[in-house]
């Protein structure tokens, strides 16, 4: 028996890429921006969204899409700050699938300036799946160690902005900020880096300004 080669040259995640493209088109039609926050479990993504709710109040109207393996706790936390939040429960899924995000768009309230997505807590998988976002935002906390960017370069390479959070804890840790900055810059020399504490609010304003500038470039000019 002989064998035949069938050349197909087809993208491995082509259905997922199609959903992401549909989301991108949906956002473009409405002149909306969407930011995909990605970081380890407990890095402080929800705390950051809570801090942004305060920092952006009266400036930028945003809705939140939350992704977690189980529970609607994070959506409830964000909603408690007066932000519209939709929870996607992924079960075993280690990342938010593009299709689930696209479906959630229909449930968002109108009149928003941008959408902030909190992906499932995971440094690896969410970075591999495009959901149609304007930019990925990597969230690393200082308690995770300064070598994490080098160990998980995928996310840090793809990120359009980088957040180093929980800086209020620095006095209690052996964490070399310069080593961490250097590691980040080896991987991604261009994206802005925001060092902040969601707890004390230090540095959150700079990220809020950046988000506003990305969302309404004309108003900023």
Partner 1 sequence: MHEVSICQGLVKVVLDELTQRAIGAGRLKRVRVVAGQLHQLVPDSLTFAYELLTRDTPAAGSQLDLRMPPLLAQCPGCGWNGAIEPPVFLCEACGAGVEITGGDELFVEALEIDDL
Residues that bind ligand GTP (CB under 6 A): 39, 41-47, 74, 121, 165-166, 168-169, 197-199
Contact call for residues 136 and 36 (beta carbons, < 8 A): yes
Q: Which is nearer to ligand GTP, 27 or 131 (CB)?
A: 131
Rule CB under 8 A: say whether 10 interacts with partner 1.
yes
Cα–Cα distance for residue pair 27/102, rounded to 1 Å? 10
Among 34-42, 91-99, 109-117, 168-176, the segment contacting partner 1 (CB under 8 A): 91-99
Cα–Cα distance for residue pair 98/102, rounded to 1 Å? 6
Q: Which is nearer to partner 1, 51 or 127 (CB)?
A: 127
| Contacts to partner 1 from residues 111-170, by CB under 8 A | 122, 124-125, 127-129, 149-151, 153-154, 156-157
Nearest 10 degrees: CA dihedral of 11, 66, 43, 80? 170
Count, residues near partner 1 per rule CB under 8 A? 39
Q: Which is nearer to partner 1, 11 or 221 (CB)?
A: 11
Q: Which is nearer to partner 1, 13 or 193 (CB)?
A: 13
Q: Which is nearer to partner 1, 10 or 172 (CB)?
A: 10
Residue 180 interacts with, from partner 1, Mg ion, ligand GTP, none (CB under 5-8 Å by kind): none
**Long-range contact pairs involving 78-86 (C-beta distance under 8 Å, separation at least 24):** 78/46, 78/49, 78/50, 78/53, 81/50, 81/53, 81/54, 82/53, 83/49, 83/53, 84/108, 84/109, 84/112
Among 2-10, 28-36, 108-116, 192-200, the segment contacting partner 1 (CB under 8 A): 2-10
Candidates 16, 141, 167, 212; binder of partner 1 (CB under 8 A) is 16
* Backbone torsions φ then ψ of 216, nearest 5 degrees: -125, 70
Which of helix, strand or coil describes residue 150?
A: helix
Rule CB under 8 A: say whether 94 interacts with partner 1.
yes
**Exposure letters 17-31 (e unless 16+ CB within 10 A, then b):** eebbeebbeebeeee
Provide the binding-site residues for partner 1, judged by CB under 8 A: 1-16, 93-95, 122, 124-125, 127-129, 149-151, 153-154, 156-157, 183, 185-190
């Amino acid at each position: 028996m002989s064998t035949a080669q069938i050349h197909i040259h087809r993208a491995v995640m082509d259905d997922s890429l199609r959903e992401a493209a549909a989301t991108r088109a949906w956002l473009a039609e409405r002149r909306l921006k969407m930011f995909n926050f990605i970081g380890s479990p407990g890095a402080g993504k929800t705390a950051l969204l809570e801090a942004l709710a305060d920092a952006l109040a009266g400036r930028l109207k945003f809705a939140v899409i939350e992704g977690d393996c189980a529970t609607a706790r994070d959506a409830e936390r964000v909603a408690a700050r007066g932000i519209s939040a939709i929870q996607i429960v992924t079960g075993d899924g280690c990342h938010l699938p593009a299709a689930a995000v696209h479906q959630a768009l229909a449930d968002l309230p109108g009149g928003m300036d941008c959408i902030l997505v909190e992906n499932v807590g995971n440094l690896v998988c969410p970075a591999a799946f495009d959901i149609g976002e304007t930019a990925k935002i990597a969230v690393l906390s200082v308690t995770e160690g300064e070598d994490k960017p080098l160990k998980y370069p995928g996310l840090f390479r793809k990120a359009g902005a980088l957040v180093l959070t929980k800086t209020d804890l620095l006095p209690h840790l052996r964490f070399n900020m310069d080593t961490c900055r250097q590691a980040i810059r080896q991987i991604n020399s261009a994206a802005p880096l925001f060092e902040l504490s969601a707890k004390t609010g230090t540095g959150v304003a700079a990220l809020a300004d950046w988000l506003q500038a990305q969302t309404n470039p004309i108003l900023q000019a």
